């Protein structure tokens, strides 16, 4: 869905049209109960890490997530992340984008190993930890995934629900930071990244 600050929704890279939408039952435990009904277990197939069905493997990440990967992996920023490739024009000669995504290697995430495993599993971003689920305005969006329909325990469903809710809060906070940056910073010309840390001029 390639969400930006303009649409202020989730940050899942897949086309939202491919997702099923379920209302989350009200009350504590409603999300976990829904997830348990749907069933899920990651098969480590790596499909969500590759460009399947014509989708780009755009894995959106915040600056904090990029720094966490750098800390664990030792890579440089430009080896981890690239600007989200959708720029909005401003002024006479300016353009800007709002998000980073993990660097791609052709049609796959650059951290996907040849055997299919994630090379940064312990520091993988929220979007990877919670795929194929994302909260959207009180609904649960569920993207196509071979792991769906697999029985999971109540504790596993509860843990996943906690992660999905935490991800929603994390993304909302990042969007608030971006709005704050936008409100206080005049945009210079050039190619810019506007993230929660500020306005950054992109080179190259």
Binding positions for ligand SF4, rule: CB under 6 A: 49, 59, 102, 109, 111-112, 118, 120, 124, 128
CA-based radius of gyration for the chain: 17
In the bound state with ligand SF4, the residue whose beta carbon lies nearer, of 105 and 176, is 105
In the bound state with ligand SF4, the residue whose beta carbon lies nearer, of 101 and 194, is 101
**DSSP type of residue 173:** H
In the bound state with ligand SF4, the residue whose beta carbon lies nearer, of 42 and 202, is 42
Least distance from C-beta 113 to ligand SF4, angstroms?
8
Least distance from C-beta 198 to ligand SF4, angstroms?
25
Q: Six-digit token pair at 3?
A: 């969400």
Instruction: Quickly count: other Cβ atoms within 10 Å of residue 139's Cβ.
Output: 15
In the bound state with ligand SF4, the residue whose beta carbon lies nearer, of 107 and 173, is 107
Instruction: Give how far Cα 163 sits from Cα of 29, 40, 89, 125, 178, Å.
Output: 13, 14, 35, 11, 22
Q: Six-digit token pair at 74?
A: 């030792």
Q: Which stretch of DSSP H or E encloses residue 128?
A: helix 126-130
Least distance from C-beta 156 to ligand SF4, angstroms?
18
Least distance from C-beta 120 to ligand SF4, angstroms?
5
């Amino acid at each position: 869905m390639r969400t930006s600050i303009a649409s202020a929704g989730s940050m899942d890279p897949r086309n939202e049209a491919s997702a099923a939408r379920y209302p989350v039952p009200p009350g504590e435990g409603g999300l976990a109960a829904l997830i348990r009904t749907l069933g899920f277990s990651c098969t480590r197939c790596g499909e969500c890490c590759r460009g399947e069905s014509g989708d780009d493997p755009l894995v959106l990440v915040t600056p904090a997530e990029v720094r966490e990967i750098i800390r664990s992996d030792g890579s440089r920023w430009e080896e981890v992340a690239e600007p989200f490739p959708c720029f909005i024009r401003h002024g006479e000669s300016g353009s800007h984008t709002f998000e980073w995504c993990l660097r791609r290697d052709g049609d796959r995430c650059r951290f996907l190993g040849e055997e299919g495993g994630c090379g940064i599993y312990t520091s993988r971003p929220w979007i990877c930890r919670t795929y194929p689920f994302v909260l959207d305005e009180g609904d649960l969006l569920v993207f196509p995934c071979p792991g769906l329909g697999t029985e999971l325990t109540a504790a596993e469903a509860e843990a996943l629900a906690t992660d999905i809710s935490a991800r929603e809060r994390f993304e909302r906070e990042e969007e608030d930071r971006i709005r704050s940056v936008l409100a206080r910073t005049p945009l210079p010309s050039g190619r810019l990244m506007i993230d929660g840390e500020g306005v950054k001029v992109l080179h190259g």
